[in-house]
Chain A
Amino acid sequence: MEKIKSIDELRRLKEQSQAFLKTRQKDVKVKIYISVDKEENTNASRDVLLAVLDELKERDFSDFQIIEKAPMGSDIKEPFMALERDDLVIYYSNITPNMAREIIVSHAIKGQIVSDWVSKRSNL
């Protein structure tokens, strides 16, 4: 723990620390919904989740929340991911860990929807 020497330093520390508390806040830039595996012996969704976490960590992006989501019905196939960003919810179904990484970099962080893979979109 270092001494804080000015009000500006304090404010910088505040911003940094706020990033750590994002999981507990109401407002975040991106909400990432990820499906959960139905059967005990499949890990497809879990692998997507781990890839997402790894990519977010790699990119040092913290303005997100991850929410696990139950199956959505026949039109959205697991493993799926939905991103809530800029008042839009975009669903990506039947994805792989590598696709998930791409979606995180392009959509979650940069705000560019990966339109080729979109299976459904809706306004908030």
Chain B
Amino acid sequence: MKTYRIHALVCAGTQCLAAGGNGFKDALVEELKQHGLTEEVLIVETGCMGSCQLGPRMVVYPEGIMYTRLSPEDAKEIVEEDFLKGRPVTRLLWKQDEKQFLTLHETPFFAKQTRIVLRNCGFINPEDITECIAQGGYESLARCITEMTPKDVIKIIKDSGLRGRGGAGFPTGLKWELANKQISDTKYIICNADEGDPGAYMNRSVLEGDPHSVLEGMAIAGYAVGAQKGFIYIRAEYPLAIKRLEIAIKQARMSGLLGKGILGTNFSFDVELRMGAGAFVCGEETALINSTEGKRGEPRKKPPYPVESGLFGKPTVINNVETLANVSVIIEKGADFFRQFGTDKSPGTKAFSLVGKVNIAGLIEVPLGTPLRTIVFDIGGGIPEGHTFKAAQTGGPSGGVIPAKHLDIPMDYENLPQLGAIMGSGGLIVMDETSCMVDVAKFFLKFTVDESCGKCVPCREGTRQMLNILEKITSGLGTMEDLDLLEKLGNVIKQTSLCGLGQTAPNPVLSTLRHFRDEYIAHVKDKVCPANVCSMKAKK
């Protein structure tokens, strides 16, 4: 076998590529040729390594030395100093608070993370199935279909307490059990990769960095519920993830890990991709089903639930990317292992995309129940340029804000709703005092008004009216009655909308009204925007 003394892992996630990662990689390839090192140094293009803001990034093994903010000009120095002389190029190391860090593991960014879902992201070549197999990939599937009954599989997932990572937190094992009990010749597994919340890119990172973990999770789900066919519904805006998935599916089929008679058993399962076409509502599971059937992505009435009658009227399990990426680890290491992390009711970990006004923005994974303060200040390194933390927003257009006085809130499925926020899919946007909370609410409402599919009246008309009121307030024409009206209208929309989009659309308004009412009042009574964001055109 060919071995290389140095593995240079270059991040080839969307963000590092956007920051010029390809230019660096090309320069590195050229320098290796020039120095005759192509037989000694292997360049591996990986998925996202996490601290996206410091990209393009590279990690050099065996020592794991991490270089940040690389440009093509840096390639020569790295080859001559590090690869040939064994001397790290210190000017390219991670620097924070006047300290520099040689490896990722030494950084405060990494110290408080636990990587289950992202176990292989940034460590393996996602376009090579053998690297995934080396890390134990597909062994859980193999064990399921050779040593376990579907009931055994469901039991482990139920015991683990795994909850849907798309946002709602429905117990995955229970969903599988309900689908398993349905009597039908055909059942389907759908992986929901329509990651729509603005500011959220966890799922894309998993698909780009470790696509096989999702395929394996889907196949295990298929075995557990008795489905032979799976679809991945993915945003068309994620071309790199689509490409890596296509490669992964092809390699898994060629290796006999997808398709007919997997590993010589009589279990068959195959996966196809379905591209979305830019409609936020398609993240809602019944709308997603309609879209997968080639129709307008309008939601359906529930019940019947998809596990009873979903895709093409057949029992269908819809799981989120991150949920599925957890499955093989739970099978491999057991429910108790999984329960070591997180809380009793929210076991395991959660991936977040930590972005906005934070020093180190990026993709992270922490045990559920980790305090927000730890995430923002220890992992994210706090707020830049002397600004102060004002609020964090979770759950995108369905979610709410967490104000500074609740910085110690454990981030899990129980505590967040008590503040009027939700766990959501994992977008975590940090805001400082320069953000106006009324404007933030307006921002999300605009989004919902654009993305409301128009099928039901409360969502279509109600959100539009709420937006009108917010525009009134942000231009200085609001009245105190408007605030009550916003709350009343918001609650009606929540209770009467057809699908999850409408039922959660008022959350950004209701939660900012709850935690930042004084800011609304300042807009209404004093006709000023405390953060100096809103135009307040009507001000005299």
Contact = CB atoms under 8 A, between A and B. Distances in A.
- Chain A–chain B contact at Cβ < 8 A: yes
Contacts of B123: 24
A23 interface: yes
Given A17-B134, A20-B130, A69-B86, A4 B263 contact: yes
Interface in B134-163: 134-136, 138-139, 142-143, 146
A70 B143 CA distance: 47
Contacts of A13: 130, 133
A3 B255 contact: yes
Interface residues of B, number: 39
B17 interface: no
Contacts of B263: 4-7, 9-10
B264 A23 contact: no
Interface residues of A, number: 38
Interface in A70-86: 70
Nearest to B259: A3
Contact of A66 (B5, B84, B255): B5
Interface string B473-496: 000000000000000000000000
A22 B3 contact: yes
A119 interface: no
A23 B134 contact: no
Interface string A49-77: 10001001100101011111110000000
A110 interface: no
A5 B131 contact: no
Interface in B103-145: 123-124, 129-131, 133-136, 138-139, 142-143
A60 B255 contact: no
Contacts, number: 102
A70 B87 contact: yes
B87 A53 contact: no
Contacts of B133: 10, 13-14, 17
Contacts of B7: 23-24
Interface string B236-255: 00000000000000010011
Contacts of B386: none
B5 A1 contact: no
A21 interface: yes
Given A1-B251, A5-B263, A70-B86, A14 B139 contact: yes
A94 interface: no
A62 B42 CA distance: 15
Given A14-B139, A21-B134, A67-B62, A4 B256 contact: yes
Contacts of A68: 84-86
Contact of A14 (B87, B136, B256, B257): B136
B315 to A, nearest CB: 28
Nearest to B135: A21
Contacts of A10: 133, 138-139, 142, 263
Given A4-B263, A10-B138, A13-B130, A20 B62 contact: no
Contacts of B312: none
A18 interface: yes
B272 interface: no
A18 B86 CA distance: 25
A3 B263 CA distance: 8
B337 interface: no
A16 interface: yes
Contact of B130 (A6, A17, A56): A17
B1 A67 contact: no
A6 B264 contact: yes
B61 interface: yes
Nearest to B41: A23
A11 B141 CA distance: 12
A56 B256 contact: no
B305 interface: no
Interface string B42-76: 10000000000000000001110000000000000
A32 B437 CA distance: 58
B372 interface: no
B40 A53 contact: yes
Interface in B10-66: 39-40, 42, 61-63
Contacts of A88: none
A97 to B, nearest CB: 16
Contacts of A21: 124, 131, 134-135
Interface string B289-330: 000000000000000000000000000000000000000000
Given A7-B146, A36-B86, A36-B87, 20 more contacts: A1-B251, A1-B254, A3-B254, A3-B255, A4-B257, A7-B139, A7-B142, A10-B138, A17-B133, A20-B1, A20-B3, A23-B62, A24-B62, A36-B84, A49-B5, A53-B5, A64-B3, A65-B61, A66-B62, A70-B85
| 4 residue pairs, one from A and one from B, having the closest CB atoms | A68-B86, A17-B134, A3-B256, A65-B62
Interface of B: 1-7, 9, 39-40, 42, 61-63, 84-87, 123-124, 129-131, 133-136, 138-139, 142-143, 146, 251, 254-257, 263-264
27 contacts: A1-B129, A1-B255, A2-B255, A4-B256, A4-B257, A4-B263, A5-B256, A6-B263, A7-B146, A9-B263, A10-B139, A10-B142, A11-B139, A13-B133, A14-B133, A14-B134, A16-B1, A17-B131, A20-B130, A21-B124, A23-B62, A36-B85, A36-B86, A36-B87, A57-B2, A65-B61, A68-B84
Interface of A: 1-7, 9-11, 13-14, 16-24, 28, 31, 36, 46, 49, 53, 56-57, 60, 62, 64-70
